[in-house]
Chains A and B, each alone.
Chain A
């Protein structure tokens, strides 16, 4: 009886403060950079990096759903991004041959992005169904293999350009579009995580046997998590294709997955906030290092080309694993990313 009263006392209003804060924050972020570009006060190169980093937020958070929240070790994430990128780019560039302006082409572009996500989710489902019975290292190897298979298959399809890739993709992924998709992706992932489905995924990570024995259909939820992760990877890939306007199979190779994986682990396994911070931070660090190392190469007699970036990343990853095993955020979340009704239950960071 008492429990009933306390729950009703804390009745959550329909209009939630935190979602509102998140929305306002995003709008302000968007407005600042939008006006800066509009008035030509923003370096277009750095604007591009911001766009890329936001796409990496989608890729990282969705990989975190698989690797961090449900505890499955997938390293074929870019394979799904490739499916999304190729599906949508094929539609917009080869099939529909859209001009890069106008309302009609734009809505078709949105459709193609969503179809890209669905195609990736479908492939993810097909791959997940047999492979998610495996655990740990075995799953990693199989997802790696499937990621490579996707790439090699695309490589051999002449219709989508084979190894030459698809050039001349219309540039639909504007800053606004990317901000909206990133915002929606993060919100959807958050809503899934703070629900019964998310708890089922967490329980699988914690103890799969115990999870099964308290009634969680573990195979179903593993496949579901994998499919949702693949869906957002597909969305990310589709946006990326329409941002850099050129895709080829090599972009979605193993190293690209490792890049996203590094973001997940440095940000924190099981933390959306960590993934967001790491995706943005590492994209900028990567570009900063590219410029920095180039400068260093010019002013010193040593040869320190931008390829040393990867070495620095590796050192960074090793250092993170040694000194902050759970990543920057651990499994903490920013307060604004936790639904109010879960507030007491969740851990929040700064």
Chain B
């Protein structure tokens, strides 16, 4: 049985009087690649913003699976079980994990819980080097404080070496090693896309949200990106949830697709099912009128 990593429970979100997302439900299984598609303005990016804490949903809850840190061994297992039940969640097979309500968490807290994302229109730090872009994402794992930084003591140096080493390793994996010390704004578009994904991975996520990763890419680059995403999932042991307009891409890579239109989920299922769904075709191409 597969475990649910992310559970979105009846989430509705309003912008003033506009209902951007209505009654969105999802249970994302571990290790899966799911896609979210829909015409422009359907509310896809809003879903991402709700998951990552940029917006707080008007209604509904979002849960994310966490590994329980055992401080007192097995003594209060039943207690924890009781807590889990009281929060009204499903019984889990492994008791090591529990679903944490992340609905009202701040974005940086959610990142530290293990959800990382990329952006529709790249949000790289342009005037910083590629290395710094990665090191900033490693930032919340750094264990030294202001005092250590001011004194530049041993702890500081060890931590700095550690994160630099990790960053360079990551850059090598993404073939950005030769760019380590160049300013991010000087990089070509394809490399920026890779850098953004690498930066997201530097936060050590369990769930990766990709917002239109193939935007502005030619067919060859798109194919490479597909291979890369599959490789990332294997290499980093991730669950991936992505938004994309590129049909070939979504159909080729996703195991399960959700289709949104005007904030509503109009269809979901395997790529095959979705592509034959009349409501989906209608949303994308309009009603058959003149044919």
Residues of B near A191 (CB, < 8 A) are: 149-152
A40 CB to nearest chain B CB (Å): 39
Q: A213-B52, A341-B160 are in contact. Are A7 and B125 (CB under 8 A)?
A: no
Q: Is B157 an interface residue (CB 8 A)?
A: yes
Asked if B139 is an interface residue, CB under 8 A from chain A, the answer is yes
Whether a CB of chain B sits under 8 angstroms from the CB of A339 is yes
The answer to whether A218 touches B127, judged by C-beta atoms less than 8 angstroms apart, is no
Q: How many contacts A-B (CB < 8 Å)? A: 111
The answer to whether A218 touches B128, judged by C-beta atoms less than 8 angstroms apart, is: no
B window 70-84: CB within 8 A of A: none
- Shortest CB-to-CB span from A233 to chain B, Å, is 17
Band of interface residues on A: 35 or more
The distance from the CB of B132 to the nearest CB of chain A, in whole angstroms, is: 6
Could you say which of B21-29, B57-65, B108-116, B275-283 contacts chain A?
A: B108-116
Q: Are B125 and A216 in contact (CB under 8 A)?
A: no
Bound-state CA distance A198–B160 (Å) is 13
Cβ contacts B145-160/A at 8 Å (1 or 0 each): 0100111100011011
Which B residues, 85 to 132, have Cβ-Cβ distances below 8 Å to chain A?
106-108, 111-112, 116-117, 119, 123-129, 131-132
A264 vs B157: C-alpha distance when bound (angstroms): 30
Any A CB within 8 A of the CB of B228:
no
- Whether B144 pairs with A196 at a CB distance below 8 angstroms is yes
Q: Which residues of A contact B161 (CB under 8 A)?
A: 7
Binds B, one of A74-82, A163-171, A202-210: A202-210
Nearest B residue to A195 by beta-carbon distance? Answer: B149
Interface string of A294-322 (1 = CB under 8 A from B): 00000000000000000000000000000
- Taking a contact as CB atoms under 8 Å apart, the answer to whether A3 and B169 are in contact is yes
B172 near A210 with CB under 8 A, answer: no
Q: A187-206: which residues lie under 8 A (CB-CB) from chain B?
A: 188, 191-192, 195-200, 202-203, 206
> How far apart are the CA atoms of A91 and B170 in the complex, in Å?
54
Given A7-B161, A200-B139, A215-B140, CB of A192 within 8 Å of CB of B146: yes
CB of B119 to closest CB in A, whole Å: 7
Q: A12-B157, A206-B128, A224-B146 are in contact. Are A199 and B108 (CB under 8 A)?
A: no
Q: Give chain B interface residues in 3-44, CB to chain A under 8 Å.
A: none
What is the minimal beta-carbon distance from A203 to any residue of chain B, in angstroms? 4
Residues of chain B with a CB closer than 8 A to A2's CB: 172
7 A-B pairs (CB sep. < 8 Å): A200-B139, A203-B136, A210-B123, A211-B125, A213-B108, A215-B203, A228-B146
Knowing that A195-B149, A199-B135, A213-B54 touch, tell me 16 more A-B residue pairs with CB under 8 angstroms.
Answer: A3-B169, A12-B157, A191-B149, A191-B151, A196-B135, A199-B132, A199-B136, A200-B139, A202-B136, A211-B125, A212-B107, A213-B117, A216-B108, A216-B139, A218-B108, A345-B132
